[in-house]
Amino acid sequence: MCRVVTKIMSGWEFTLQEPDDASFAPVRLPHDWAIHTPTNRQMDQAEAQGFRDRQGIGWYRRELWLQEVREDRVYQLQFDGIYENSTVWINGTEVGGRKYGYSSFAVEITDCIRAGHNRILVKVDNTALPSDRWYSGAGIYRTVKLLELPKRHLKPEDIQVTTAVEGDKGIVVIRTGTTDPVAASLKEGTADVSSGSGSGTIRLELPQVKMWSPESPHLYALELSLLDGEQAVDTYAMRIGVREIEMIAGQGMFVNGKATKIKGFCIHQDAGCLGIAAPSEIWRDRLIRFKAMGCNAIRTAHHMPAAELLDLCDELGLLVYEEPFDKWTAGSYRRYFETEWQRDLESMVRRDRNHPCVFMWGVGNEVENQGQPSMLRILKMLKDHLATLDDTRPVSYAMNPHFKYESNVDLAQVKDVQQFVDEVSETEIDDLNERVERIRRIAEIVDVISCNYQEQWYPAIHKAVPDKLILGSETYQFFRGHVDQMQNFSDEVPWMDVEKHDYVIGGMLWTGIDYLGESMGYPAKGWAGSVFATNGERKPISYLYESYWSEQPMVYFAVMDYSLQDEGVKEHWDAPRYASHWSFPQFNKTVVPYMIASNCEEVTVEVNGKRFYVNKPSSYPNRMITGFLPYLPGTVTVRGFNNGEEVCQYTLRTPGQAAKLGFDPIAETRLAAREGYSQLFTVRALDKDGTPVFRDSSKVTFRVIGPAELIGVDNGDLCSAEPYDSSWRHLYRGCASAVLSLTGEPGRVELTAFADGMESGRAAVEVG
């Protein structure tokens, strides 16, 4: 019998007290104990952690029933991530753990288990400071698996798959990690390409290969079998993609021979009301929203993601820039760097190097002593070691725009290392030539120059280092710096620099979706300077990027509305306060500023059927049409034209009084009865004609009937003090969301939303 892999996500118990029988309560994984703790403005690093009092020592336990324990088998527990400082016991015997909260690891339990009942106990020590600069949550927040393996078995972390193309033929080379005989089978439909080897390397040829790319993410099913004679004693399956990525100096990045710009978002891992306990289907929904606006890449900042996220990126066609940690010898990782850096770096690369989506590795972000000899030594050490694990992808490091002269500051004594790195001081290097010299030193080591917020210096960097390409590893949404200073509030959108220069391979906005922590001050519980809210609501700036990134004709209209709540966005990461509504009850024919985003050749705008003339998008430096319209209640319609033909339109109407609640449609109305499967539903206030009422903020109560439970409520308002684990939420900008989790039983799930004075809204899915 080959390997048996079983997810063990239910049946767990948890306590923050001493681990006795009376203190434990049932929980289901993934679990984040911090997300439902009260906010605490006096806690250490309150802003960084979104005022969630995450510190503490948590205990998890689970009974594991085994029908038998075979002598010819090996048993392991595999954890994809525990935050953090975990220790695992089986039947009272300590079997291992992991310090860093983002690394996957496995523990051997063969000698500690027995037939019948077994006790898993996991301690999670989340008391160390400093914490991450963003909300890190706490607990067993990723997938846990029980592995039952043959004594002789394949080791996935030792398997490496590389691909190439020869004409219309795909070449797949597999390093099996063993010199024992291994057979490989590559399947697609009824086609089956097979081979075997005992040399440790297998070469497969795919005639008429179908390539993997962001536009067409084709995947093949690869199965490896460890052989004993003709008998397979172990099998391991994975999905792979055949693709070629070239970085050509001065010309750009080419995917399968096609010039490709990175149209990307940086992301953290939390999912709003769920904290870091984010089921993969919630991230699937988010990634689909990203793709719909033309995004083709993400950067997993600043740590390894859940394994399922990379599976989704393979499937959906999103390129990934992956990095293992943020700072090195400062910040939260400083307590681990000296003893753990190699182990954590290897954990990332060995787990993820066979994903076609991963196009580049990073080895750090905005580290201390940037460009100085001590930093360069570490950078080279990390880069060189990574190359021993995977030499098929470029390696980079994301540079902070601040460069400083050497100082004798003891970074171990610096409480807020990011503030120390960012702040302008007497050691700041202002001279452009000196700044570029520091960048040149870094560029000598990395394969691609990754720049955070440095668009204004791209030409100078390229002149000094013409043989290396540049990636905007973090960019502002709307504003761009000036050549003489890092920040400047003009309307020079950073994406224009990507389009302008062939040697710039793309830009990755900070960030794609709002996240918890890194607050700029109470009452904000997180970072709101993104293009999507925590509940998936698109913000107006996202449509500007859709006009840059998407080939599908589109046009969009929004008004500038500074009556809206200040969300606490850090100034240069902010965008003008546009909103998607045509509702100003306080105005009477007042002129209102607006914006129109479109990728069409020409655009028209009408108010109640009367046309107002605007210039072509191409006549504006950032291709965003701006102007003023008189506020007259009614309808605003914008139309996009190509070759004189109307190809798209967008309409906003002034709503009446909120009369009913209505749920947005969801992609799937029939779901498999899978325990723990989660789905986000969004409800809106509508007038009697179905027009969204943007300004309504009624309290909405949710009720669920059927084989599902309500696990979180969200409205995208990071300044709200309302609890995430309740059954109610006030509408924010006219909407609120609820997340349901299936119990695993078949039946009909009905979600109802109630609000005083409005007709209730209903959504339903069939589960079976």
- Cα–Cα dist 529/574, whole Å: 6
Please name which of 602, 606, 589 lies closest in space to residue 651, comparing C-alpha atoms: 606
CA distance 575 to 592: 17
Checking phi first, is residue 303 left (phi over 0); if not, alpha (psi -120 to 50) or beta? beta
- Judged against a pLDDT cut of 90, whether residue 1 lies above it is answered with no
Query: With 70 as the cut, is the pLDDT of residue 424 above it?
Result: no
CA angle, 715 then 720 then 722, to 5°: 85
| Chain segment 593-603, per-residue pLDDT in tens | 999 999 999 99
Closest alpha carbon to 424 in 486, 508, 359: 486
**Over the stretch 241-258, which tens digit does the pLDDT of each residue have?**
999 999 999 999 999 999
Given a cut of 90, whether residue 382 has pLDDT beyond it is yes
Residue 220: predicted pLDDT? 95
- In the predicted structure, residue 478 carries a pLDDT above the cut 90: yes
CB 542 within 8 A of CB 292: no
Q: pLDDT grade, residue 191 (50/70/90)?
A: low
Q: Is the pLDDT of residue 411 over 70?
A: no
pLDDT number for residue 230: 87
β-partners of residue 119 are 63
pLDDT at 415: 65
Sequential DSSP letters for 317-328: T-EEEE-S-S-S
Q: What is the pLDDT of residues 390-402, one digit of tens each?
A: 999 999 999 999 9
Which whole number is the average pLDDT over 122-134?
95
Residue 418 has pLDDT above 80, yes or no: no
Mean pLDDT of 407-433: 73
Mean pLDDT of 63-85: 96
Q: Which tokens belong to 567?
A: 């969300």
Mean pLDDT of the chain: 95
Integer angstrom CA distances of residue 396 from 426, 486, 504: 29, 22, 14
Percent of the chain with pLDDT over 90: 91
Cα angle value 394/400/406 (rounded, 5°): 110
Side-by-side strand order, sheet with 116-126: 25-27, 12-15, 56-66, 116-126, 86-90, 93-98
Full set of structural domains in the chain with CATH:
4-141 (2.60.120.260), 156-240 (2.60.40.10), 245-538 (3.20.20.80), 547-653 (2.60.40.10), 660-767 (2.60.40.10)
